[in-house]
Amino acid sequence: MPAILRENVDSFRGYMCLGGILMIPTDASRLLRHPLVALVLSRGLGQAAVLISTFYLARLVTPDVYGELGLFTSFCALFSMASGARFEIRALVCRTEGARRKFIAMAYAINVCLLTVALPMCVLAVCLQRAPVWTALVPIGVLLSSLVNYVLPSQNSSKAQLSKLGTMNIIVSLSTATLQIIGAKVAPVGISLVAARLVAWLAGAFVMKAQIVDGWRSMTKLRTSDLRRMYRSSRQEIYYGTASALLGVLELQCAVYVLSFFSQKHAIGMYWMGFNLLFVPFFVVSGSIRPLFLRHLASARKESKIFRLMSKYVGMSFLAGIAFVVPIALAAVVVTREFLGPEWQDVQYFAGLLAITLLVLVARLPISFAASALGMQRLNLAFGLLQVLVRASSLGVPLYMGQPVISAMVWFAAASSGCYLLHIIVSLYGLKRLEE
């Protein structure tokens, strides 16, 4: 049982597992008061508000306009995953508070440096008419997304700090839900939706302004000796972990880029809507439990053989995936038919095909979480690269041959799921060999 739950062991009479990590007590009152569950619920309720507003948004904008928001959000998700050079992940496994603060400070420093370099370049690209107007806002979006989704959760990962993160998540979600409707009513164009997303992230960051100020002050106190020492101790995570993280996001978003390359703007809107209907609930849970899982794994691996432990987690995650994905996929189909207009009806086909991929992705969740802690960055990197190549080719080749988008998506879903399954098998086999 995870160390974080041991103090409440008398109240946990039974539990079910999601991804081998999320423990749910049978006592409903205890369940709602548990900080981890409260954090997941806050994210879930907030994202539910975003989804509901998105259904209304679909009546105000075309799939092409919504696809622009999808491209912007995709770029921010891709680069913010690695904009801290993974120092925030290293902070989670530090043994001392002083070391943890320095790694968090490094994450702030790398983010600020990237903003300083990228912002003038993106503004110049827009001025030269080489990119759409919203491209100039991508560096700001990357910084805010990195803070809200990665740096601040790592900086405030203790049990006592989870409620503050829950408040931040609620503010981001409610602001997004409200502002994207206002933006679409004022001007139903892509830049309005992009601006709404930026303001929502900024509102969430403002809730944690004291923590941001603390991180900034720690950043200014970093010494050259600190930089050298942290770099030497983090080289494997920086190179392999960062590359794996980028590929992890790219493998989920590469369909957007492939469809954009083939000028399938309408299909981008369809894909992004289906992606949000299925993957947003998944990210709500996985993003909340990842920091705690890493802490739990550090203690649990001392008590159990790692192959047996990870096999159990993968099996339980697969069962949880069935219980999680099937209802979500059915709900996505019903919502599309009942609430979205005729120009959006292809969403149900995208959602159904994406559900196949999501099921295997949920089963792989423990492997993804454990990569850094178990030294599997190189394997993750190799399979991340393979997944991107498989996904891009399985979608791009049929489109190049003139097949309809839906037919190409069938190949895309099948190839992606097979690659995820192969990653699970090879990872577990590698862990078993290490123990022999």
Same domain, 81 and 171: yes
Share of the chain above pLDDT 70, in %: 83
Residue 367 falls inside a structural domain: yes
Q: Per-residue pLDDT tens for 324-347?
A: 889 989 988 888 888 888 889 899
Same domain, 256 and 190: no
pLDDT at 302: 61
Which two three-digit tokens encode residue 1?
Answer: 């049982």
Same domain, 404 and 386: yes
Of 79, 24, 13, 45, give the one whose Cα is nearest residue 289: 24
User: In sequence order, which ranges of 208-241 are alpha helices (DSSP H)?
Assistant: 209-220, 224-236
Domain count for the chain: 2
Same domain, 148 and 178: yes
Q: Which residues span the domain enclosing 77? A: 34-222
Same domain, 305 and 180: no
pLDDT at 4: 33
pLDDT at 246: 81
Same domain, 57 and 146: yes
Same domain, 20 and 41: no
Region for 340 from its dihedrals, namely left if φ exceeds 0, alpha if ψ lies in -120 to 50, beta otherwise: beta
Secondary structure class of 17 (helix, strand, coil): strand
Residue 230 falls inside a structural domain: no
Residue 118 falls inside a structural domain: yes
pLDDT at 276 over 80: yes
SS3 content of the chain, % helix, strand, coil (to 5): 85, 0, 15
Phi, psi torsion values for 373, nearest 5 degrees: -65, -30
Average pLDDT over residues 310-322: 85
**Residues 394, 420: contact at Cβ < 8 Å?**
no
Same domain, 3 and 43: no
Output b/e per residue, 391-422; b: 16+ Cβ within 10 A.
bbebbbebbeeeeebeebbbbbbebbbebbee
d(CA 371, CA 409): 29
d(CA 150, CA 157): 10
pLDDT at 211 over 80: yes
- Chain-centroid distance, C-alpha 195: 21
Same domain, 243 and 119: no
pLDDT at 167 over 50: yes
pLDDT at 306 over 60: yes
Q: Per-residue pLDDT tens for 15-63?
A: 233 333 333 344 445 544 555 566 666 666 777 788 888 888 988 998 9
Residue 88 falls inside a structural domain: yes
pLDDT level of residue 1 (50, 70, 90 thresholds): very low
Share of the chain above pLDDT 90, in %: 31
Write down the residue that tokens 């392999």 correspond to: 240
Among residues 155, 187, 222, the one where a domain terminates is: 222
d(CA 253, CA 107): 24
Q: Per-residue pLDDT tens for 102-139?
A: 889 999 999 999 999 999 999 999 999 888 899 999 99
pLDDT at 17: 36
Same domain, 10 and 49: no
Among residues 170, 189, 222, the one where a domain terminates is: 222
What average pLDDT does the structure give for the chain? 81
Residue 184 falls inside a structural domain: yes
pLDDT at 409 over 90: yes
Q: What's the DSSP call for residue 23?
A: E
Residue 228 falls inside a structural domain: no
Same domain, 2 and 55: no
d(CA 371, CA 20): 15
**pTM score:** 0.74
Q: State whether the Cα torsion 190-191-194-200 is positive or negative.
A: negative
pLDDT level of residue 9 (50, 70, 90 thresholds): very low
